[in-house]
Amino acid sequence: MLEPGTIVHQHYKIIQRLGESKGKGVETYLAKNLKLSPPDRCVIKRLILLHGYEQRKTVRRLFLKEVEVLKNLGQHPQIPKLIDFFEENQDSFLVLEYIKGHELVQELSPKKIWPEVQVMKLLNEVLQVLSFVHDSQIIHRDIKPENLIRQTPENLLCLIDFGSVKEVTTSITNEQGEIISTVRIGTWGYMPKEQASGTPYFSSDLYAVGMIAVQALTGLHPLDLHPHPRTLEIMWRERAKVSEKFANFIDKMIRFDFRHRYRSAREALQDLSALS
């Protein structure tokens, strides 16, 4: 772990560690970018690569590929920009824009029920950003309230912490450095069955967004809701005051079978716009 005050790559001064950095092999820090005058805050992700020589070559290739992905995604104003990337002491580092604000989870108080119109506005915000991500052929894989930041003073929702970064450090390789599998990425309650099994789709992200909407409408965490014993669909409607059309829209986002969900954020956004 990097201690506060540590200087990384001669330009970045560690302020503090952020959270517990649940992703295996990933540590996240708040830091100061000393290259700027005055120094500005940034986020540093340290990717700890515990592999042999051949495996490290493969993981390094994945890391550099991920850098290109983050460069592209950072073109959107509601996704953190990639500021820098480098390797030091056999670890790889990403330096990302710091988004000042608060996590959406702070707005989703237990038992606080949002009105339908407010949830529709939330979905519109998230799906707008996610459409850009899906159009870029990227699956986020860890959408949850903690990874949506309400930026101040702009009051925009920003999407952070892409699961593909975690994949770089959780890829399992053989002795030849060939990737044979990756560790599951996601968060229980917001992660559908196919993603938990290691096969995420664009619709897996939509399941997560739909579960955030259900959480807002019911005041209940997804883990406090239960599937129907026969259909395995989440039973939530009786806990919410919601119109039939909007409930049907959300149901299509959170279907148990990914083939019955919306195929992409843009497709879902089109139907949401028709409801407004």
Return d(Cα 262, Cα 210) in angstroms, integer.
11
φ/ψ (deg, to 5) at 211? -70, -30
Measured N-to-C along each axis, helices 244-253 and 202-218 cross at an angle, to the nearest 10 degrees, of 140
Rg (CA), the chain: 20
Report yes or no: 15 and 29 within 8 Å, Cβ to Cβ: yes
Return d(Cα 36, Cα 98) in angstroms, integer.
14
Task: Give the active site residue among 142, 161, 251, 271.
Answer: 142
Structure tokens at 209: 């967004």
Q: Which residues contact 269 (CB under 8 A, 6 or more apart)?
A: 124, 127, 128, 131
Return d(Cα 139, Cα 122) in angstroms, integer.
20
Residue 142 is a catalytic residue: yes
Return d(Cα 101, Cα 181) in angstroms, integer.
36
Structure tokens at 58: 């493969």
Kindly list the catalytic residues: 142
